[in-house]
Amino acid sequence: MPRVKATVRVAAILVAALPFSGCAATFGGYDVAPNGLPREEDALREALAYEADRVYREVVDGERPLPDDDLLRLLYAGTAGYYAGSWRDGSRLLDLASYLADDRVTFSLSRQALSLVTSDRALAYTPARTERLMIPYVAAMMYLQAGDVDGAAVEARRIEALLDQLDADVPADSIPDESRFLHYFAGCVFEAARDWNAADVAYRRAGALAEAVGIAIDRDLEPGMDSVGDVVVLVERGFVPHRVEQSVVVVLPPAQVALLTEGSAGEKAAAAVEAAIRILAAASHVHGDRSGFYHDRGYHSQLHLEPWPADDCAPRRRICDDGEEVEGEPYLLRISWPVLHQEPPAPAPLRVRAGMVGGDAGARLDLAAATRRDFEAERAAILARTIARAAAKVALSASVEESVKKKDEAAGQLLGILTNIGTLLTERADTRAWHLLPGSISLVRLRLPAGTHELALEVDRSGGERGRTEVLGPVHVRAGTTTFLSTRLWR
């Protein structure tokens, strides 16, 4: 009889949960594309590659859905403005995003508490290290495209100040590659603004990378150079890895639920934490998520229903006494967590050519690798919050049901079911991120005679075979100056 009642209860919870969110969306959280991105975000990425102007108009007019979070909306709208050529408006949007991102670093106790009974999505979205650094970088590129070198220099100073803050405790020989790339980029911008002292400092901080590019800290770049100028070409490729949700729903048996409803508050919490840890371990095994990354091109199913393992009970558990089955009600516990979906790596080498003069990419910013490091740095905190949330939800549901059962058993059972449904529907992994960023940025620097030059981008195939050539268009080189050009290879 207890087992029949348990089955009925589980079925009731599952059936009752479906109408609230539309069948599969109950556990899936939202409609996702084959790559695991929310379908609207995936459509936005595709449209930007071919119809950036239309996308930006739709964003401005409110016709295209954007993420719910204020900061992400600014980042997405600013990015759309960048690729649509609305550089002034886009830079203003990213300027606002920069200030809001700084504010988000502060800690919100109220939202932190709310996340323990709903999900991490109740927390204000806070950009990771790499995303914070890319805000002033993209803004600087927009100012450069708009011909506002002084505005770009302001963003370059923001880059340098942010790197000072983020790398303050990092030994000089362990500075991340992305930091050195951005120091070099800032130096190029300072050069264009004729701030030679700032350029020298930035190039020195870039270290060996500055020398590898081929043209750096050159005193000939000072005023008086009357025959040649520099062209800096930045080639963006692909997309950064994006976060996708994984979930497992486990049917906690009455014996495990009993541990959560009896004893002291500390014992209940310990039992809930143990349950969450066991579930996460089982989920990692089921989904093959030991590394936290997907490397294939297909998105795995994000939900798995897992029965409680029928292993031996711990000796300290009194529920196992005499091997008798404990009567009681089961509980459905859902655990959700993010993993990274790795986009296919960008094909290797590229070069820029202007007639007989050509140059290979002397520096490369690997945003995919930087994003993975950011994610790994967050995983422990994500895990801790996931376990704490599971403990809080189970304890809350059990406490509510038991308190009402003392007065009315039927009402207590009904309230327990409703509370359990609520915890299932609100459990969501936080997959929010600036998903529009490129996976890498390559920098090619050429020194060319003053005048107009036709630039072409040559992209090699794998194995070093010559691949496609794309025309970047004419660029006007002025003597003694640095000119910037940017393009993006979406695939």
What is the pLDDT confidence band of residue 416, given thresholds at 50, 70 and 90? low
CA angle 265, 269, 272 (to 5 degrees): 140
**Residue of higher predicted confidence among 316 and 83:** 83
First to last CA, the chain: 59
Q: What does residue 364 show for φ and ψ, rounded to 5 degrees?
A: -140, 130
Mean pLDDT of 274-289: 61
402 to 263, 326, 408: CA distances (angstroms)? 13, 16, 10
What is the pLDDT confidence band of residue 214, given thresholds at 50, 70 and 90? low
The number of C-alpha atoms within 13 Å of 116 and in the hemisphere containing its C-beta is 12
Rounded Cα distance between 292 and 172, Å, is 29
> Residue 22: is its pLDDT beyond 50?
no
Sheet holding 357-360, edge to edge: 357-360, 350-354, 451-459, 469-477
Asked if residue 308 lies in contact with residue 251, where contact means CB atoms within 8 angstroms, the answer is yes
Domain ranges for the chain: 1-491
Rounded Cα distance between 246 and 288, Å, is 11
Mean pLDDT of 372-379: 88
- Which of these ranges, 72-81, 110-119, 148-157, has the smallest mean pLDDT? 110-119
> Residue 25: is its pLDDT beyond 50?
no
